[in-house]
A and B are shown apart, each in its own frame.
Chain A
Amino acid sequence: MDLSPREAVPTAVGKPRKRPWLAVGVLVAVLAGAGVLVFKFLTNAVDYYCNVDEIGVKDGCDVGRSIRIQGVVDQGSVTGEGLNFVISYNGQSMPVVVGSKPTGIFSECVPVVVSGKVVENADGRVFEGREVIVKHDNQYDAENADRLAQGEAEAAACLRKD
Protein backbone atom coordinates (compact mmCIF):
# COMPACT_ATOMS: atom_id res chain seq x y z
CA MET A 1 0.00 0.00 0.00
CA ASP A 2 1.47 3.34 -1.12
CA LEU A 3 1.09 5.91 1.65
CA SER A 4 3.24 8.61 0.10
CA PRO A 5 1.45 11.95 -0.28
CA ARG A 6 -0.17 12.79 -3.56
CA GLU A 7 1.47 15.27 -5.87
CA ALA A 8 0.22 18.81 -5.48
CA VAL A 9 -1.85 19.65 -8.50
CA PRO A 10 -2.57 23.18 -9.67
CA THR A 11 -5.91 24.16 -8.22
CA ALA A 12 -8.38 26.77 -9.27
CA VAL A 13 -10.27 26.67 -6.04
CA GLY A 14 -8.30 29.32 -4.20
CA LYS A 15 -10.12 32.45 -3.19
CA PRO A 16 -8.62 35.27 -5.24
CA ARG A 17 -9.88 37.98 -2.90
CA LYS A 18 -8.91 38.22 0.71
CA ARG A 19 -11.22 41.11 1.54
CA PRO A 20 -14.69 40.35 0.16
CA TRP A 21 -16.19 42.69 2.76
CA LEU A 22 -14.69 45.60 0.81
CA ALA A 23 -16.44 44.41 -2.33
CA VAL A 24 -19.68 43.99 -0.38
CA GLY A 25 -19.34 47.56 0.94
CA VAL A 26 -18.75 48.91 -2.59
CA LEU A 27 -21.70 46.92 -3.87
CA VAL A 28 -24.01 48.37 -1.20
CA ALA A 29 -22.79 51.89 -2.04
CA VAL A 30 -23.32 51.20 -5.75
CA LEU A 31 -26.89 50.03 -5.19
CA ALA A 32 -27.61 53.11 -3.06
CA GLY A 33 -26.03 55.37 -5.69
CA ALA A 34 -28.03 53.77 -8.49
CA GLY A 35 -31.21 54.25 -6.46
CA VAL A 36 -30.45 57.95 -5.93
CA LEU A 37 -29.75 58.41 -9.66
CA VAL A 38 -33.04 56.83 -10.70
CA PHE A 39 -34.98 58.78 -8.06
CA LYS A 40 -33.44 62.13 -9.03
CA PHE A 41 -33.97 61.48 -12.73
CA LEU A 42 -37.60 60.53 -12.27
CA THR A 43 -38.42 63.42 -9.91
CA ASN A 44 -36.67 65.86 -12.23
CA ALA A 45 -38.59 64.51 -15.19
CA VAL A 46 -41.77 65.65 -13.41
CA ASP A 47 -40.91 69.17 -14.63
CA TYR A 48 -42.40 69.12 -18.11
CA TYR A 49 -40.18 70.27 -20.97
CA CYS A 50 -42.01 72.90 -23.06
CA ASN A 51 -41.18 75.19 -25.95
CA VAL A 52 -42.34 78.81 -25.65
CA ASP A 53 -45.13 78.27 -28.18
CA GLU A 54 -46.48 75.33 -26.16
CA ILE A 55 -47.26 77.36 -23.00
CA GLY A 56 -50.97 77.18 -22.23
CA VAL A 57 -51.50 75.03 -25.33
CA LYS A 58 -49.85 71.69 -24.74
CA ASP A 59 -50.88 69.38 -21.93
CA GLY A 60 -48.54 69.82 -18.96
CA CYS A 61 -47.31 73.26 -20.08
CA ASP A 62 -49.81 75.08 -17.91
CA VAL A 63 -49.57 78.47 -16.24
CA GLY A 64 -48.44 78.18 -12.60
CA ARG A 65 -46.93 74.72 -13.03
CA SER A 66 -43.23 74.03 -12.48
CA ILE A 67 -41.76 73.43 -15.95
CA ARG A 68 -38.65 73.84 -18.07
CA ILE A 69 -39.08 76.17 -20.99
CA GLN A 70 -36.96 76.29 -24.13
CA GLY A 71 -36.45 79.24 -26.44
CA VAL A 72 -33.87 81.54 -28.03
CA VAL A 73 -32.85 84.77 -26.26
CA ASP A 74 -34.12 87.72 -28.31
CA GLN A 75 -31.57 90.17 -29.62
CA GLY A 76 -31.52 93.41 -27.59
CA SER A 77 -33.78 91.95 -24.88
CA VAL A 78 -31.17 91.31 -22.15
CA THR A 79 -31.26 93.88 -19.34
CA GLY A 80 -30.19 94.00 -15.68
CA GLU A 81 -27.01 92.01 -16.41
CA GLY A 82 -29.04 89.07 -17.61
CA LEU A 83 -31.70 89.10 -14.91
CA ASN A 84 -34.37 90.06 -17.46
CA PHE A 85 -34.65 88.89 -21.04
CA VAL A 86 -37.14 87.62 -23.59
CA ILE A 87 -37.07 84.17 -25.22
CA SER A 88 -38.87 83.15 -28.39
CA TYR A 89 -39.68 79.93 -30.17
CA ASN A 90 -41.70 79.35 -33.30
CA GLY A 91 -42.91 82.96 -33.44
CA GLN A 92 -44.05 83.13 -29.80
CA SER A 93 -42.22 85.16 -27.13
CA MET A 94 -42.07 85.08 -23.33
CA PRO A 95 -40.43 87.59 -20.94
CA VAL A 96 -38.21 85.90 -18.36
CA VAL A 97 -37.16 87.13 -14.92
CA VAL A 98 -34.44 85.24 -13.05
CA GLY A 99 -33.00 85.65 -9.55
CA SER A 100 -29.33 85.21 -10.39
CA LYS A 101 -27.20 86.17 -13.34
CA PRO A 102 -27.00 83.40 -15.98
CA THR A 103 -23.52 81.94 -16.54
CA GLY A 104 -21.95 79.74 -19.23
CA ILE A 105 -22.03 81.15 -22.75
CA PHE A 106 -25.32 82.97 -22.10
CA SER A 107 -25.85 85.82 -24.53
CA GLU A 108 -28.38 87.09 -27.03
CA CYS A 109 -29.42 84.75 -29.82
CA VAL A 110 -28.45 81.54 -27.98
CA PRO A 111 -30.98 78.82 -27.13
CA VAL A 112 -31.63 78.42 -23.41
CA VAL A 113 -33.63 76.18 -21.09
CA VAL A 114 -35.09 77.95 -18.04
CA SER A 115 -36.55 76.11 -15.04
CA GLY A 116 -39.40 77.84 -13.23
CA LYS A 117 -43.04 78.65 -13.81
CA VAL A 118 -45.25 80.95 -15.83
CA VAL A 119 -47.14 83.55 -13.79
CA GLU A 120 -49.77 86.01 -14.96
CA ASN A 121 -49.66 89.61 -13.82
CA ALA A 122 -51.04 92.94 -15.02
CA ASP A 123 -48.57 93.04 -17.94
CA GLY A 124 -49.41 89.55 -19.09
CA ARG A 125 -47.49 86.29 -18.76
CA VAL A 126 -43.97 86.26 -17.33
CA PHE A 127 -41.71 83.27 -16.73
CA GLU A 128 -40.17 83.33 -13.26
CA GLY A 129 -36.98 81.33 -13.64
CA ARG A 130 -34.94 79.54 -11.00
CA GLU A 131 -32.11 78.38 -13.24
CA VAL A 132 -30.94 79.23 -16.76
CA ILE A 133 -29.01 76.64 -18.73
CA VAL A 134 -27.58 77.41 -22.14
CA LYS A 135 -28.31 74.80 -24.76
CA HIS A 136 -25.56 74.05 -27.24
CA ASP A 137 -26.19 72.20 -30.48
CA ASN A 138 -23.69 69.92 -32.23
CA GLN A 139 -22.41 72.63 -34.52
CA TYR A 140 -18.89 73.90 -33.89
CA ASP A 141 -17.47 76.83 -35.83
CA ALA A 142 -14.05 78.35 -35.62
CA GLU A 143 -13.83 81.70 -33.92
CA ASN A 144 -13.42 84.46 -36.52
CA ALA A 145 -14.11 81.93 -39.26
CA ASP A 146 -15.48 84.77 -41.38
CA ARG A 147 -12.14 86.57 -41.18
CA LEU A 148 -10.29 83.37 -42.03
CA ALA A 149 -12.56 82.79 -45.02
CA GLN A 150 -12.04 86.38 -46.12
CA GLY A 151 -8.27 85.99 -45.78
CA GLU A 152 -8.30 82.79 -47.80
CA ALA A 153 -10.47 84.39 -50.49
CA GLU A 154 -8.14 87.39 -50.71
CA ALA A 155 -5.11 85.10 -50.90
CA ALA A 156 -6.75 83.08 -53.69
CA ALA A 157 -7.61 86.27 -55.58
CA CYS A 158 -4.05 87.46 -55.21
CA LEU A 159 -2.70 84.19 -56.61
CA ARG A 160 -5.02 84.43 -59.61
CA LYS A 161 -3.59 87.90 -60.43
CA ASP A 162 -0.11 86.37 -60.62
Chain B
Amino acid sequence: MDPTASTPSTTATVRRPTSTRFTRGLGVAVIVGAAWVALFGLVLSPNDALQKTGVRILYIHVPSAWLAYLAFIVTGISSAGYLWKRTRSLVWDRVAGASAEVGVLFMGITLVTGSLWGSITWGTYWTWDSRLTTTAFLFVTYIGYLAVRGLGGTLHQRARRSAILALFAVLEVPLVHFSVKWWRPLHQNESVAEGELEDMMLFTLFSGIVTFTLLYVWLVIHRQRTLALDDSVAEHGLDAALAERRQEALQ
Protein backbone atom coordinates (compact mmCIF):
# COMPACT_ATOMS: atom_id res chain seq x y z
CA MET B 1 0.00 0.00 0.00
CA ASP B 2 1.25 3.41 -0.92
CA PRO B 3 0.90 5.64 2.12
CA THR B 4 1.17 8.79 0.01
CA ALA B 5 -1.81 7.84 -2.11
CA SER B 6 -4.19 9.71 0.15
CA THR B 7 -2.03 12.80 0.57
CA PRO B 8 -4.44 15.65 0.00
CA SER B 9 -1.73 17.94 -1.38
CA THR B 10 -2.80 16.76 -4.82
CA THR B 11 -6.12 18.54 -4.31
CA ALA B 12 -4.31 21.88 -3.99
CA THR B 13 -3.90 21.98 -7.76
CA VAL B 14 -7.62 21.70 -8.37
CA ARG B 15 -8.91 25.01 -9.66
CA ARG B 16 -11.95 26.23 -7.78
CA PRO B 17 -12.83 29.73 -8.98
CA THR B 18 -15.16 31.80 -6.83
CA SER B 19 -16.99 33.22 -9.85
CA THR B 20 -19.63 31.71 -12.07
CA ARG B 21 -21.47 32.94 -15.12
CA PHE B 22 -24.21 34.21 -12.78
CA THR B 23 -21.85 36.19 -10.53
CA ARG B 24 -20.01 37.62 -13.51
CA GLY B 25 -23.34 38.84 -14.89
CA LEU B 26 -24.23 40.17 -11.48
CA GLY B 27 -20.91 42.00 -11.31
CA VAL B 28 -21.58 43.68 -14.63
CA ALA B 29 -25.06 44.69 -13.39
CA VAL B 30 -23.46 46.24 -10.27
CA ILE B 31 -20.97 48.25 -12.38
CA VAL B 32 -23.78 49.52 -14.62
CA GLY B 33 -25.89 50.31 -11.54
CA ALA B 34 -23.03 52.19 -9.89
CA ALA B 35 -22.52 54.30 -13.02
CA TRP B 36 -26.28 54.93 -13.15
CA VAL B 37 -26.39 56.05 -9.50
CA ALA B 38 -23.32 58.25 -10.00
CA LEU B 39 -24.93 59.89 -13.04
CA PHE B 40 -28.21 60.58 -11.26
CA GLY B 41 -26.66 61.28 -7.85
CA LEU B 42 -23.99 63.70 -9.04
CA VAL B 43 -25.45 65.22 -12.20
CA LEU B 44 -29.15 64.76 -12.90
CA SER B 45 -30.77 65.04 -9.45
CA PRO B 46 -31.33 68.56 -8.14
CA ASN B 47 -29.82 70.28 -5.11
CA ASP B 48 -31.95 70.33 -1.98
CA ALA B 49 -33.54 73.65 -1.07
CA LEU B 50 -31.85 73.72 2.35
CA GLN B 51 -28.91 71.31 2.19
CA LYS B 52 -27.90 72.31 -1.35
CA THR B 53 -25.44 69.75 -2.75
CA GLY B 54 -25.08 68.03 0.65
CA VAL B 55 -28.23 66.01 -0.12
CA ARG B 56 -26.16 63.86 -2.52
CA ILE B 57 -24.52 62.11 0.42
CA LEU B 58 -27.89 60.47 1.07
CA TYR B 59 -27.57 58.45 -2.15
CA ILE B 60 -24.73 56.54 -0.49
CA HIS B 61 -25.78 56.84 3.14
CA VAL B 62 -29.31 55.42 2.92
CA PRO B 63 -28.47 52.44 0.62
CA SER B 64 -25.47 51.61 2.86
CA ALA B 65 -27.69 51.59 5.93
CA TRP B 66 -30.26 49.41 4.13
CA LEU B 67 -27.53 47.01 3.00
CA ALA B 68 -26.14 46.74 6.54
CA TYR B 69 -29.61 45.97 7.96
CA LEU B 70 -30.14 43.35 5.24
CA ALA B 71 -26.73 41.82 5.89
CA PHE B 72 -27.29 41.49 9.63
CA ILE B 73 -30.76 40.01 9.14
CA VAL B 74 -29.32 37.45 6.69
CA THR B 75 -26.62 36.65 9.26
CA GLY B 76 -29.36 36.02 11.81
CA ILE B 77 -31.40 33.81 9.46
CA SER B 78 -28.32 31.84 8.36
CA SER B 79 -27.31 31.35 11.99
CA ALA B 80 -30.74 29.94 12.76
CA GLY B 81 -30.29 27.69 9.70
CA TYR B 82 -27.08 26.35 11.19
CA LEU B 83 -28.48 25.84 14.68
CA TRP B 84 -31.56 23.99 13.46
CA LYS B 85 -30.58 20.32 13.40
CA ARG B 86 -32.42 19.46 10.20
CA THR B 87 -30.50 22.03 8.18
CA ARG B 88 -27.19 22.01 10.07
CA SER B 89 -24.38 22.70 7.63
CA LEU B 90 -21.25 24.82 7.61
CA VAL B 91 -22.59 26.50 4.48
CA TRP B 92 -25.04 28.40 6.70
CA ASP B 93 -22.19 29.44 8.97
CA ARG B 94 -20.11 30.71 6.08
CA VAL B 95 -23.02 32.69 4.63
CA ALA B 96 -23.60 34.20 8.10
CA GLY B 97 -19.93 35.15 8.42
CA ALA B 98 -19.70 36.57 4.90
CA SER B 99 -22.88 38.57 5.35
CA ALA B 100 -21.69 39.98 8.69
CA GLU B 101 -18.38 41.08 7.16
CA VAL B 102 -20.19 42.91 4.36
CA GLY B 103 -22.64 44.37 6.88
CA VAL B 104 -19.84 45.73 9.07
CA LEU B 105 -18.16 47.31 6.06
CA PHE B 106 -21.35 49.09 4.99
CA MET B 107 -22.36 50.02 8.53
CA GLY B 108 -18.99 51.76 8.73
CA ILE B 109 -19.74 53.58 5.48
CA THR B 110 -23.15 54.53 6.89
CA LEU B 111 -21.53 56.08 9.97
CA VAL B 112 -18.89 57.98 8.01
CA THR B 113 -21.31 59.35 5.39
CA GLY B 114 -23.86 60.16 8.10
CA SER B 115 -21.21 62.06 10.00
CA LEU B 116 -20.28 64.07 6.90
CA TRP B 117 -23.94 64.80 6.22
CA GLY B 118 -24.41 65.80 9.86
CA SER B 119 -21.54 68.27 9.61
CA ILE B 120 -23.09 69.92 6.56
CA THR B 121 -26.67 69.92 7.80
CA TRP B 122 -26.74 69.77 11.61
CA GLY B 123 -23.50 71.63 12.14
CA THR B 124 -21.83 68.75 14.00
CA TYR B 125 -20.13 65.52 13.01
CA TRP B 126 -21.49 63.61 15.97
CA THR B 127 -24.06 63.91 18.73
CA TRP B 128 -25.26 61.33 21.23
CA ASP B 129 -28.60 61.01 19.51
CA SER B 130 -30.54 57.75 19.89
CA ARG B 131 -30.27 56.76 16.20
CA LEU B 132 -26.57 57.58 15.99
CA THR B 133 -25.69 55.84 19.24
CA THR B 134 -27.68 52.68 18.53
CA THR B 135 -26.16 52.51 15.04
CA ALA B 136 -22.64 52.80 16.48
CA PHE B 137 -23.57 50.11 19.02
CA LEU B 138 -24.78 47.82 16.23
CA PHE B 139 -21.51 48.39 14.36
CA VAL B 140 -19.44 47.55 17.43
CA THR B 141 -21.58 44.48 18.16
CA TYR B 142 -20.90 42.96 14.75
CA ILE B 143 -17.18 43.73 14.97
CA GLY B 144 -17.40 41.69 18.18
CA TYR B 145 -19.26 38.96 16.29
CA LEU B 146 -16.43 38.78 13.75
CA ALA B 147 -13.88 38.67 16.58
CA VAL B 148 -15.79 35.76 18.15
CA ARG B 149 -15.60 33.93 14.82
CA GLY B 150 -11.82 34.26 14.97
CA LEU B 151 -11.39 32.86 18.47
CA GLY B 152 -10.22 29.47 17.25
CA GLY B 153 -11.52 25.94 17.84
CA THR B 154 -13.09 23.59 15.33
CA LEU B 155 -15.23 24.81 12.47
CA HIS B 156 -18.37 23.57 14.18
CA GLN B 157 -17.36 25.19 17.47
CA ARG B 158 -16.90 28.46 15.59
CA ALA B 159 -20.24 28.02 13.84
CA ARG B 160 -22.16 27.20 17.03
CA ARG B 161 -20.91 30.04 19.23
CA SER B 162 -21.15 32.69 16.51
CA ALA B 163 -24.65 31.53 15.52
CA ILE B 164 -25.88 31.93 19.11
CA LEU B 165 -24.35 35.41 19.30
CA ALA B 166 -25.87 36.38 15.93
CA LEU B 167 -29.36 35.47 17.11
CA PHE B 168 -29.00 37.98 19.97
CA ALA B 169 -27.23 40.62 17.87
CA VAL B 170 -29.93 40.72 15.19
CA LEU B 171 -32.39 41.96 17.83
CA GLU B 172 -30.53 45.28 17.72
CA VAL B 173 -31.64 45.92 14.14
CA PRO B 174 -35.26 46.83 15.06
CA LEU B 175 -33.89 48.81 18.01
CA VAL B 176 -31.87 50.98 15.61
CA HIS B 177 -34.66 51.24 13.08
CA PHE B 178 -37.36 52.28 15.55
CA SER B 179 -35.09 54.46 17.72
CA VAL B 180 -36.34 57.50 15.81
CA LYS B 181 -39.86 56.70 16.99
CA TRP B 182 -39.16 55.58 20.56
CA TRP B 183 -36.99 58.58 21.55
CA ARG B 184 -36.99 62.24 20.59
CA PRO B 185 -34.06 62.14 18.21
CA LEU B 186 -32.17 64.71 16.18
CA HIS B 187 -32.13 62.23 13.30
CA GLN B 188 -35.14 62.52 11.02
CA ASN B 189 -37.74 59.79 10.61
CA GLU B 190 -37.61 57.37 7.69
CA SER B 191 -36.96 59.41 4.56
CA VAL B 192 -38.14 56.84 2.02
CA ALA B 193 -41.18 55.28 3.68
CA GLU B 194 -42.53 58.33 5.50
CA GLY B 195 -40.69 61.31 4.11
CA GLU B 196 -41.43 63.59 1.22
CA LEU B 197 -38.68 63.42 -1.35
CA GLU B 198 -38.69 65.27 -4.61
CA ASP B 199 -39.34 62.78 -7.45
CA MET B 200 -35.84 62.74 -8.93
CA MET B 201 -34.26 62.43 -5.48
CA LEU B 202 -36.53 59.49 -4.66
CA PHE B 203 -35.71 57.80 -7.96
CA THR B 204 -31.96 58.24 -7.39
CA LEU B 205 -32.24 56.89 -3.86
CA PHE B 206 -34.25 53.90 -5.09
CA SER B 207 -31.63 53.24 -7.79
CA GLY B 208 -28.96 53.30 -5.10
CA ILE B 209 -30.86 50.81 -2.94
CA VAL B 210 -31.30 48.38 -5.87
CA THR B 211 -27.62 48.68 -6.89
CA PHE B 212 -26.35 48.23 -3.33
CA THR B 213 -28.57 45.16 -2.91
CA LEU B 214 -27.04 43.59 -6.05
CA LEU B 215 -23.59 44.50 -4.75
CA TYR B 216 -24.42 42.81 -1.45
CA VAL B 217 -25.43 39.57 -3.20
CA TRP B 218 -22.26 39.63 -5.29
CA LEU B 219 -20.02 40.25 -2.30
CA VAL B 220 -21.63 37.61 -0.10
CA ILE B 221 -21.52 34.91 -2.79
CA HIS B 222 -17.81 35.52 -3.37
CA ARG B 223 -16.91 35.91 0.27
CA GLN B 224 -18.68 32.74 1.38
CA ARG B 225 -16.84 30.87 -1.37
CA THR B 226 -13.45 32.21 -0.23
CA LEU B 227 -14.43 31.29 3.34
CA ALA B 228 -15.16 27.76 2.10
CA LEU B 229 -11.67 27.67 0.59
CA ASP B 230 -10.20 28.95 3.88
CA ASP B 231 -12.00 26.18 5.75
CA SER B 232 -10.82 23.65 3.19
CA VAL B 233 -7.21 24.77 3.65
CA ALA B 234 -7.62 24.51 7.42
CA GLU B 235 -8.90 20.93 7.07
CA HIS B 236 -6.53 19.67 4.41
CA GLY B 237 -3.57 21.39 5.96
CA LEU B 238 -4.04 19.19 9.02
CA ASP B 239 -4.59 16.10 6.88
CA ALA B 240 -1.34 16.78 5.03
CA ALA B 241 0.52 17.06 8.34
CA LEU B 242 -0.96 13.76 9.55
CA ALA B 243 0.00 12.01 6.32
CA GLU B 244 3.53 13.35 6.67
CA ARG B 245 3.84 11.99 10.22
CA ARG B 246 2.52 8.61 9.07
CA GLN B 247 5.13 8.51 6.36
CA GLU B 248 7.86 9.32 8.90
CA ALA B 249 6.67 6.40 11.06
CA LEU B 250 6.97 3.99 8.11
CA GLN B 251 10.58 4.93 7.32
On A, residues with C-beta under 8 Å from B are 4-5, 7-17, 19-20, 22-24, 26-27, 30-31, 33-34, 37-38, 40-41, 44-45, 49, 102-106, 110, 113, 131-145, 148
Closest 3 CB pairs of A and B: A104-B123, A138-B195, A23-B150
User: How close is B188's CB to chain A, nearest CB, in angstroms?
Assistant: 4
In Å, the complex CA distance between A73 and B59 comes to: 29
Chain B interface residues (CB < 8 Å from chain A): 1, 3, 6-8, 46-52, 54-55, 58, 90, 119-124, 127-128, 130, 133, 136-137, 140-141, 143-144, 146-156, 158, 184, 186, 188-191, 194-198, 200-201, 230-231, 234-239, 242-243, 246, 249-250
A139 touches B150 (CB 8 A): no
Structural contact, B235 and A12, CB atoms closer than 8 A: yes
- Decide: B151 and A20 in contact? CB cutoff 8 A: yes
Q: Does A16 contact B231, Cβ atoms closer than 8 Å?
A: yes
Residues of chain B within 8 A (CB-CB) of A26 are 143-144, 146-147, 150
A-B pairs with CB below 8 Å: how many? 177
Q: Are B144 and A8 in contact (CB under 8 A)?
A: no
Q: Which of A15, A40, A44, A104 contacts B234 (CB 8 A)?
A: A15
Cβ–Cβ contact A5 & B249, under 8 A? yes
Q: Quick one: given A11-B235, A140-B196, are A40 and B150 in contact (CB under 8 Å)?
A: no
Known interface pairs A37-B140, A105-B123, A140-B195; 10 further A-B residue pairs with C-beta atoms within 8 A, sorted by A's residue number: A8-B6, A11-B238, A17-B150, A37-B136, A41-B128, A45-B128, A131-B124, A138-B191, A138-B196, A139-B195
Q: A residues within 8 A CB of B46?
A: 142-145, 148
A100 to B38, CA, bound (A): 37
Q: How distant is the Cα of A9 from the Cα of B1 in the complex, in angstroms? A: 16
B1–A4 contact, CB under 8 A?
A: yes
Bound-state CA distance A136–B3 (Å) is: 72
Q: Which of the residues A23, A134, A145 comes within 8 Å of B147, measured between beta carbons?
A: A23
Q: Which of B49, B189, B201, B238 contacts A13 (CB 8 A)?
A: B238
Can you name the residue of chain A whose Cβ is closest to the Cβ of B3?
Answer: A5
**Contact assessment for A14 and B188 in the assembled complex, using a CB-CB cutoff below 8 Å:** no
Give me 18 A-to-B residue pairs in the complex whose CB atoms sit less than 8 angstroms apart, sorted by A's number: A5-B246, A5-B249, A8-B7, A14-B235, A16-B158, A16-B234, A26-B143, A30-B140, A30-B141, A30-B143, A37-B136, A41-B128, A131-B124, A138-B189, A141-B196, A142-B49, A144-B49, A145-B198
